[in-house]
Amino acid sequence: MASWIPLAGLIVLVALVIAQLAVPSSRAWVWKVAAGLGTLELAALLYFGLVWAPPEAFMSDVGRILYVHVPHVWACLVAFTINVACAIAYLMKKSWRTDALAEASAEIGVYFGAIGVLMGSIWARPTWGVWWDWDPRLISTTVMLLAYVGYLAFRSFTEDPERRAAWSAAAAILGYVSLPIVWFSVRWWNSLHQVQSTGSTVDKPMRAVLYWGNVTFLTFLLAFIIKRYELARARQSSALELPPVQAPKTEVAV
């Protein structure tokens, strides 16, 4: 795989995001394109990651887990960043849209993070020699995922949409502290997990496949977030329009 191909994939992805955000008429099909494109990219990743890429000098074929483990955790971190941006945006200017997007991105971040940690554990067994050890990276990642599970639980147990939106936004800002801790844990403290790879520590063909993996799972991230966002919006409108006990206090921001 030539090194410009992942970049091309990233440009297409950014174009889809822009279309979704800026061109309302495109919202009917962007998620379909993202899902279809993601599937094609995944098929290519299977070939490039499992067949085309060379084995690693010391990890041999086990090193191929790199191409899925890192992209999953990346997608997780991107999702949580979207979440905190929406939380701040909601508190600055109330909008049910940002509240729904915050909910969608948190759930998908937990999904990608949990799968990424599972993959890391599977990878640790043959390389480190153990499935798990409580090193700073693994502790902080576990705490981060539990914080967002708590965030989602808070959201699902809180009935009043206004209270839920405002206080879960505050919780999201607090929870986001865990993200830089996860990122820097391998630098601040002694750890079993290695520090982040950079371009120069990964050989060229492997780097291209790793970036391709990132593009692939970020494309799925887009498709999932759109659909999960629509679900959150539908629930909101039913909660805000159906008059159960109390009349809705606010109008749905359109």
Partner 1 sequence: MKPETRNRLIALGAILVAGSALAWIAFGNIGENLVYYWKPSEMVAQGQKAYGATVRLGGVVVPGSVLFNTEHTALTFQVADSHKGDAVKVTVKSEQTPPQMFREGIGVVVEGAFSADQVFRTNRLMVNHSNEYRAPTDGGMPDEAWKNSLTKAE
Partner 2 sequence: MKWLSLVLFLSLPVLADIAKPPPPAPAAVAPEPQHPQGIEKVPMGVIEGGWAYVYAAWGAGLLGLVGYAVSLYVRRSEAPPPGAP
Residues of this chain that interact with partner 2 (CB under 8 A) are 35, 42, 46, 49-50, 55, 57-62, 64-65, 68-69, 72, 108, 111, 115, 118-119, 122-123, 125-127, 220, 224, 227-228, 231, 233-235, 237-238, 242
- Binding piece for partner 1, criterion CB under 8 A, among 5-13, 21-29, 38-46, 170-178: 170-178
97 binds partner 1 (CB under 8 A): no
Task: Give the phi and the psi of residue 246 in degrees, each rounded to 5.
Answer: -110, 150
> 3-class DSSP state for residue 150?
helix
- Give CA–CA dist 235/252, Å, rounded: 12
| 246 near partner 1, rule: CB under 8 A | no
Closest distance to partner 1 from the beta carbon of 14 (Å): 27
The count of chain residues that interact with partner 1, using the rule CB under 8 A, is: 50
Which residue of 40, 170, 234, 253 would you call a contact of partner 1, by CB under 8 A?
170
CA pair distance 124, 121, nearest whole angstrom = 5
φ/ψ bin of 203: left (φ > 0), alpha (ψ from -120 to 50), beta (otherwise)? beta
Closest CA to 9 of 199, 198, 219, 207: 219
| Choice between 88 and 231, CB closer to partner 2 | 231
What's the chain's length in residues?
254
Minimum CB distance to partner 1 smaller for 159 or for 203: 203
Stretch that binds partner 1, among 39-47, 54-62, 229-237, 238-246 (CB under 8 A): 54-62
Decide whether 90 or 112 has the Cβ nearer to partner 2: 112
- Judged by CB under 8 A, which of 129, 199, 243, 244 binds partner 1? 129
- Near partner 1 in 203-222, by CB under 8 A: 203, 205-206
In whole angstroms, the minimum distance from the beta carbon of 118 to partner 2 comes to 5
Range 185-194, long-range pairs (CB < 8 A, 24+ positions):
185/136, 185/137, 185/139, 185/140, 186/136, 186/137, 188/136, 189/136, 190/136, 191/135, 191/136, 191/137, 192/128, 192/133, 192/135, 192/137, 192/138, 193/135, 193/136, 193/137, 193/138
Contacts to partner 1 by CB under 8 A: 54-59, 63, 66, 88, 90-94, 126-130, 133-136, 162, 166-167, 169-170, 173-174, 176-177, 180-181, 184, 188-192, 194-198, 201-203, 205-206
